[in-house]
Amino acid sequence: MTGYVACSHEDTAMKYMLMLYAEEKVGLAIPPEQMSKVMETMGAYQAALEKAGAFIMTSPLARTSDARTLRMAGGEVVYRPEGAKVFVTEGGELQVHDGPYADTREQFGGFYMIEARDIDEALAWAAKCPAAQWGAIEVRAMMAGY
Instruction: State the sign of the Cα–Cα–Cα–Cα dihedral 49, 51, 54, 55.
Output: positive
DSSP letters along 121-139, please? HHHHHHHHSGGGGTS-EEE
What percent of the chain is modeled with pLDDT above 90? 67
From the centroid of its chain, how far is CA 115? 14
DSSP structural state of residue 118: S
The mean pLDDT value for 100-125 works out to: 90
Q: Give the pTM.
A: 0.81
Residues found in the chain: 146
What percent of the chain is modeled with pLDDT above 70? 89
Task: Give me the chain's average pLDDT, please.
Answer: 88
Whether 48 has a pLDDT exceeding 90, the answer reads: yes
Strand partners, 14: 116
What pLDDT score was predicted for residue 82?
77
Whether 2 has a pLDDT exceeding 70, the answer reads: no
CA atoms within 13 A on the CB side of 103: 2
Cβ distance 69 to 101 under 8 Å?
yes
Per-residue pLDDT band for 103 (boundaries 50, 70, 90) equals: low
